[in-house]
């Protein structure tokens, strides 16, 4: 997609007030366009299936009739891996957060978040990064510090790959990692690919899930 083109969004929530609120907050973002909305996961899935190439990002609530946001995310990632999914919810529990990560959601933002965080989250996710609400970062860190990465997995990564993985867990994009480590973006992407191969993950979200499950410590 060209950078001057607007990214197409679908918003799925069973409350009109939430959809209207998101639409209002994004009304001045010329690079973002809400092209569709749905009031439950099944309706969202039907609309995505009709025109999968016309949607770049889905914003989905966790609790919806017929099909919730996490199940919707799981379906999307299995069938249309290029479509990004940002969970928008009131749930702060570790269990729901882990379910979203397990479904490979690209981000998880609380409904109480303001416009600035929503716009930042959408931009980061569309650029290939991940986003978790600031309030949830301590929860993520606690999960990361439970247990330890299996020795064979830790030793399989080089020192530089460990540094890159640590920054990926902190939600930095390849460009930001490149700047912080003083290496080219191409080198970062090469490290990222090697990490994916060594850990058996398929995506950045998969790496975050791997880190959580294996107790990797983000430095």
200-203, long-range: CB < 8 A, 24+ apart: 202/81, 203/81, 203/104
Q: Are 215 and 146 in contact (CB under 8 A)?
A: yes
DSSP state of 33: E
- Domain boundary assignment for the chain: 7-140, 145-214
Handedness of CA 147, 102, 57, 92 (dihedral sign): negative
Say whether 145-214 and 7-140 share the same fold. no
Residue 160 is predicted with a pLDDT of: 87
Question: What pLDDT digit, counting tens, does each position of 56-68 carry?
Answer: 999 999 999 899 9
- pTM, full prediction: 0.68
Going by pLDDT thresholds of 50, 70 and 90, the confidence category of residue 1 is: very low
Structure tokens at 130: 């991940």
The 3-class secondary structure across 42-62, one letter per residue, is: HHHHHHHHHCHHHCCEEEECC
Going by pLDDT thresholds of 50, 70 and 90, the confidence category of residue 212 is: low
Q: Which CATH number fits domain 7-140: 3.40.718.10, 3.40.50.720, 3.40.50.2300, 3.90.1300.10?
A: 3.40.50.2300
Residue 140 is predicted with a pLDDT of: 66
Q: Which CATH number fits domain 145-214: 2.40.50.100, 1.10.3720.10, 3.90.79.10, 1.10.10.10?
A: 1.10.10.10
The proportion of the chain whose per-residue pLDDT surpasses 70, expressed as a percent, equals: 86
């Amino acid at each position: 997609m060209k950078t001057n083109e607007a990214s197409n969004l679908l918003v799925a929530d069973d409350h009109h007030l939430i959809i209207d609120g998101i639409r209002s907050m994004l009304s001045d973002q010329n690079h973002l366009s809400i092209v569709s909305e749905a009031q439950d996961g099944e309706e969202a899935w039907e609309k995505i299936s009709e025109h999968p190439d016309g949607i770049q990002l889905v914003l989905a609530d966790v609790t919806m009739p017929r099909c919730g946001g996490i199940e919707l995310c799981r379906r999307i990632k299995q069938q249309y891996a290029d479509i990004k999914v940002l969970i928008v919810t009131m749930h702060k529990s570790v269990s729901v957060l882990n379910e979203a990560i397990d479904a490979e959601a690209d981000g998880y933002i609380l409904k109480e978040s303001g416009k600035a965080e929503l716009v930042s989250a959408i931009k980061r996710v569309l650029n290939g990064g991940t986003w978790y609400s600031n309030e949830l970062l301590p929860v993520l860190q606690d999960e990361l510090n439970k247990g330890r990465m299996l020795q064979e997995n830790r030793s399989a990564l080089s020192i530089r790959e460990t540094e890159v993985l640590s920054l990926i867990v902190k939600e930095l994009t390849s460009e930001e990692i490149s700047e912080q480590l003083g290496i080219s973006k191409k080198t970062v992407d090469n490290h990222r690919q090697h990490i994916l191969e060594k850990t058996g993950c398929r995506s950045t979200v998969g790496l975050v899930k791997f880190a959580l499950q294996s107790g990797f410590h983000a430095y």
